[in-house]
Structure 1
Amino acid sequence: MIQIDDTIISRDIVQQNFICDLSKCKGICCVEGEEGAPVTEEEAKQIEVLLPSIWADLSVAAKEVIEKQGITYLDRDNDLSISIVNGAECVFAFQDAEGYWKCRIEEAFEKGKTSFKKPISCHLYPVRLQKHRTFTAVNYHQWHICKGGIELGDQENRKLFQFLKEPLIRRFGEDWYQQLIAVANYITNTEFKM
């Protein structure tokens, strides 16, 4: 394990090769699983503000879930999570003409409708954060649907922390990321740069 400030980081973050390969997984992480994506109260507020501008684009089933319970719910660990349809599919997920699962929130960001890109838990995936009393655990979530991401990472020799540079900086800041690079250089005996 690696400690930077109040985070405890799995060594997999700096050792595992990974680049998300949408051509293989088609974004299935948006629709598979047992819980919705973790979200902070602040993120939920930002999504509530954005909701009217994307409402017409949501599926009928997603609208029904949101009308019944809202955009979030408390999961079995009592954590705030994005609401899901049929026990799996994110209410903001949609499938494009090529069969890729995408996010209505991120689509709105790309169209300039909002400055909020998407929940940090989605942006960081396959890294998951777990808040403890005195620290935040930063772990690599290994899932069979991401096998293509490992293969592409191996082909390009790109580490998980490099692939996730933008969301890691978004969540923890540039100074934290610089410290992570220094640790990665030491552990892997490689010269990574910002």
Structure 2
Amino acid sequence: MIEIEDKIVSADLLRECFACDLGACRGICCVEGNAGAPLEASELGDLEAEYGRYKPYMTPEGIAAVEAQGFGVLDEEGDLTTPLVAGAECAYACRENGVTLCAIERAWRDGRTEFRKPVSCHLYPIRLVRFSNGTVGLNYHRWDVCAPARACGRKLGVPVYKALREPIVRRFGEEFYAALEAAESYLKNNN
């Protein structure tokens, strides 16, 4: 673990490799799991305000799930998450050429919305943990469905944090990302 600012960062984010390979995994991370993706309370307003802009990209089942369950739901542990279709697929999923993608992000890419997607989805496989003292932890979540991403990352030599530069900067800023780069350099030179 490495302490940067007021955050605790798993060194695995600097040592392990990762690069999404949608051709291999087909976006299964949006389909499988035991709960929806984590949401920040502030994102509920964005999801609701932008609904009309990304709704055309959603599946009919996803639309029905959102309209029945709301823009976010509490999971078994009381955490705010995205609603699911039939207890599995994220309600905000869509399909394109046999690949499951985020309908919100598709609308964003088409310039239809300012909201890209929930930050937890953008940051994945980084999962944030909030400690009782207010400190935020950044952990590397290893999921078997992401084995192709780990293989692709190793082949390309891309550490987890470098693969996720954009969402890390979105959530924590440029200075924090620069501190991650410095930490990686330190680890390489002192191990």
TM-score (norm 2): 0.94
How far 1:56 sits from its partner (Å)?
A: 3.8
Query: Which residue is 2:3 aligned to?
Result: 3
Give the counterpart letter for 1:113 in structure 2.
R
Query: Which residue is 1:128 aligned to?
Result: 127
Give the counterpart letter for 1:66 in structure 2.
V
Q: Percent identity at matched positions?
A: 39
How far 1:86 sits from its partner (Å)?
A: 1.1
Query: Which residue is 2:100 aligned to?
Result: 101
Q: Which residues of structure 1 form unaligned runs of 5+?
A: none
Give the counterpart letter for 1:122 in structure 2.
C
Query: Which residue is 1:92 aligned to?
Result: 92
Aligned residue for 2:61, secondary structure, equals helix
Equivalent positions of 1:1-194 (< 5 A) are: 1-96=1-96, 98-134=97-133, 135-189=135-189
Is the Cα–Cα contact under 8 Å of residues 15 and 188 in structure 1 kept in the other structure?
Answer: no
Give the counterpart letter for 2:87 in structure 1.
G
Give the counterpart letter for 1:13 in structure 2.
L
* Paired residues, number: 189
Q: CA RMSD in A?
A: 1.3
Is the Cα–Cα contact under 8 Å of residues 109 and 117 in structure 1 kept in the other structure?
Answer: yes
Is the Cα–Cα contact under 8 Å of residues 39 and 82 in structure 1 kept in the other structure?
Answer: yes
Give the counterpart letter for 2:176 in structure 1.
W
Distance 2:59 2:21 in 1: 26
User: Which stretches of structure 1, 4 residues or more, deviate above 3 A after TM superposition?
Assistant: none
Give the counterpart letter for 1:130 in structure 2.
V
Give the counterpart letter for 2:12 in structure 1.
D
How far 1:188 sits from its partner (Å)?
A: 2.0
Q: Which residues of structure 2 form unaligned runs of 5+?
A: none
Distance 1:117 1:148 in 2: 24
Distance 1:159 1:123, change over 3 A: same
Distance 1:6 1:29 in 2: 29
CA deviation vs aligned residue, 1:66-101 (integer Å, no higher than 9, x gap) = 2222011011121111101111101110111x2100
CA deviation vs aligned residue, 1:5-59 (integer Å, no higher than 9, x gap) = 1211111100001111111111110011011011112111111011122334432
Distance 1:58 1:155 in 2: 34
